[in-house]
Chain A
Amino acid sequence: MSIHRQLGLTDEEANQIEEILGRPPNHLELAMYAVMWSEHCSYKSSRLHLRRLPSEGERVLVGPGENAGVVDVGDGIAAAIRIESHNHPSAIEPYQGAATGVGGILRDIFTMGARPIALLDSLRVGPLDDARSRWILDGVVSGVSGYGNAVGVPTVGGEVVSDATYTGNPLVNVACLGVMPIDRLVLGRATGVGNLAVLLGSTTGRDGIGGVSVLASAGFGSDGDTDASDEDAAKRPSVQVGDPFEEKRLIEACLALLDAGLVVGIQDLGGAGLACATSETASRGGVGMDVDVAAVPRREPGMEPFEVMTSESQERMLAIVRPDDLDEVEALCRRWDVRATVVGRVTGEEGRLRILDGFDGPVLADMPAASLHEAAPCYDRPRRPAPAVPDLPPVPTGSVHAGDDLLAMVADTAWVWSQYDSQLFLNTVEGPGGDAALLRLKHPVTGQDTGRALALTLDGNQRWCAVDPREGTAMTVAEAVLNLACVGASPLAVVNCLNFGNPEHPEVMWQLSECIDGMSEACRALGVPVVGGNVSLYNESRGSDIDPTPVIGLLGLVDRLERRPPGVTLAEGAAVLLVGARSGELGGSRWAAEALGGGRPVGSLPALDLAASTATASLVRDLVADGLLAGVHDVADGGLGVALAELVARSGVGADLDGVDGHGELFSEAPGRVVACVAAEDLAEVERRAGAAGVALARLGTAGGDRLVVAGVVDLGVTQIVDTWRNTLPATMGTPVGAGPGIPWDGEASVDGAER
C-alpha cells in the first residue's frame, strides 16, 4: 500500500498536496498533512454543514473555530466553554482514554486565558450485563476521577447512559467551563516576526502518534471475538498517557504567564501535536514559522522528525513570546517546575512553515502553514435519509400495572459521580445528580462573589435522534433549557458534541445534516448562540453505526442567587403538579423501546412546540427564583413515571396521585414539561402565574406517605423505590451494597437516574 494511504490520506488528497507544494511531498510533510487533514482535525465531512449553526449573539466574545467559545457573563468576567469527545481512545484503553480526554479539554480552556472551574462528562456504554461494557465504564470513571481530581478541577455533572447501540463503540464526551477577567482573553495566534515559539510542559514521546488519523478517524472492526479485535488492540499505542500533576503545574504556570502579560499568543498541543500547534498559530496570525525539531525535548532516543512533529504526548503548550521576555518566562516556569524550550521562531516568510534540523541546519519540510489548516479538504458527502424506525406497536390496554416497568428504569448514578471531586473551589451549589449543575460565580482574580451563578447541563438522547435526528436534536436543546430552568437559570450559549457513525455512509451524513438543522432551528427560536463544538465520526463497529448522538452542553446564568434551588425532592403535604401539557404519545420513548420495540426505538416523536416549551421554562425559572417551588424535576427519559419515581427516591417521601392515563401518560416523553412540588400556601400564586403565562398546569395529587400511588397505574412502596434506585448500579458494577458510595449531600437518598 502506498505511504499516503497507510497514513489515512486518499489518492486525491495526495495529489492535492503535490499541487500545493509543486513537487512530491517528502515523508515528513506527508505525515504532517495526514494528521492535519484527518477527519478529527479538519472536520472535512462536517465543516460544510456546521456553517449553518447560529453563532452570533450579544454576549459572544469568541465563537466556533477557536480553542473554546467565550461569552461575556457580566462584571468584567468572561466564561470559556468547550466540549470534546474521546470516544475511540476510551474504547481501546478506558482509563487513559478518559483521563487524557479530561486533560485535553482543560488545555482548550486555559489556553484562552481562563481558569478551568468545572468539568462535566457524558458517558455512553453498552448494556451493563456485558462484562466488557462494565470494564469500559469502570475504567472511564476511574480515568475521569484519577485525572480530574488530581489536576484540581471539580466534575460537577453530566450523564451516564447504557444502550446496546454503544456496545462496540462507547462515547466519552467531556466539557469544561472556565472563567477569566475579560481583558485576559488571549487567542491562539503567532504574531511579531522574530518572536519565539516556546514549548511548555512535558517531553515528547512516541505516545499517540497518529491518534487523530489512525484512531479517531476510523471505525472499529469487531466487538472482541474475531481477528479484528487484535487490530483494535494494536491501536492501543495510539492512545496517549496522561499526567495530571504535570497538567496542574502547567495550568498554574500558563495563567501566571498570561497574568504577567508575557505571552503574545498561546496554543495547546492536542490532536496532531506540534504539527497542529505550529501550523495553526502561524496560519491564524498570518505569519511564517521556523521550527527546530532537534530542540524539542524528547522522552526517548532515536525519534524521527515525523514522530516528534505528530506525537500527541500530553500536557504540552506552545507559547509565543517576545525575545526580551524570554528570561522572565523561563524564571516563571522554573517556579512551577515546568519545562520551557524555544523550539520555533516567527518569520515573515510568506506564511511558510519550515521544519529544520537546528535553526541553521537543513530544511526537512517546507509548506504553507495555512495549507495544513484552512486549506484542508472540505467534502459534501452524499446524503440519503435513513430508513424510518418501525411504527409504534399497539399499547396493551385494560388493567395496567406499570410498577415493575418503572422500577426497571430507575438507577441512582451516585456510584459514578461520588468518585469525582464535585466541590472544589467552593462554588458548587447544585452538583451532580440534579437537573443541572449550579455554580456560584466568583471573580476569577479577586475571588469576589458576584451574587450570581452559572449553570451547566449536558444532554443527549440517542433514541429520539434515531427516530428523527432533526426533531430529536431540537427536543434535546429544549430539554437542556428546561434543565437549566429547574435550577433557576436562563440559557446563554450552546456547545455541542456530535457523535455519529461513518460519514461515508450516506445515511449517517443525512443524520448529521438533519441534526445540525434541528439544532439551528431550536437555537434560533430560543435566541441562544452555538459557540463551539466537536464532531466525532466513524463511531461504528463491525460495519454498524451508532445511533446519532448529539450531546448538547448548555451554559446558563442566574442573575441573583439568593437561595439554593429546590432540587429534585418532594415535601410532605405539598401539591404535586404537572407543568406543561398532558400527553400520552409514546413514540421515541424509552418505555416503548424497552417494552414494545425489543430495545430499539419505535414510533414517531411527539410534536415539539418550541414556544410552549420556552413558556414552561420561563415560568419554572421564575418560580424557582422566587422560592415558590418545594421541589422540581424535568420530564424526559422515562417520562412522567421516572420523574415521579426519582422525586420519591431522592426525598424518601411518597405521593398519592391521580389523573394519569395508562402507560401512555405515565411514560410519554413529550417535551416541555416538568413536575413541580408546591406548598399549599403557594399553590394559588403558582396557578395564577401559570394561567397568566398560558402554561398548562395539572394537579396530580399530594406528596406524602410511604407509597407512590398513581391511581390505576402504579402502587409501590417508597422503600422499594429507594432501594432499587440506590442499589442497581453498585450491584451491577460489583460494589457491595452498603460499602460503596451513594449518600449524598442532604443525607436522605440521592440522585436521578439518567442525569447526574
Chain B
Amino acid sequence: MAVVRSPKDFVAGLLFIATGVAAIAIAANYTLGTAARMGPGYFPRVLGILLILIGAILALRSLRLSGAPLPGWKWRPVLVTLGSVVMFGLIVTRAGLVISTILLIALASAASHEFRPREAVISGIVLAALAVGVFVIGLKLQIGIWPGAY
C-alpha cells in the first residue's frame, strides 16, 4: 500500500477529480454538439476532463513528494461565523436591519476566544445605527429598518 506523503496535495487532487467527474456526469444531460457547432455540453466536458487529469497528477504525485500534514480544523470559528451570517440571511427580510444586525453581531462575536457579551451587545447597537445610516439612508438600499416594513 502506497503511503501518502503530501496529504494536502492528495486531498486537493481527490477533490478536483470528484468535481471533474461530477461536472461530466451532469453535463452528460446537455447536448455535446460538434467542435464547429458546440452544444451546451461541450465546454463543461472538456473542463471536467482537464480537472480529472490534473487531480490525478496531484494525487499520484503526493505519493512521492512529501509535504506538510493537513492542518487541524477548529469548528467553532467556522460554525459560529458562517452560522451567524445564515441567521442574518434568514431573518433580515422580516425582522428588519436593526434586529438582524444586533443578533448577527452578538452571535458572531461568540466565535472569538476573547468573547465579551456586554461589549458584543453595545457594538451591535452602534453598528445597527451605523448600518441604517450608511446603507438605508445614505446608499438608499431597499432594506427594511424595523420588522414588517417590507
* Chains A and B form a bound pair: no
- Chain B residues near A (Cβ < 8 Å): none
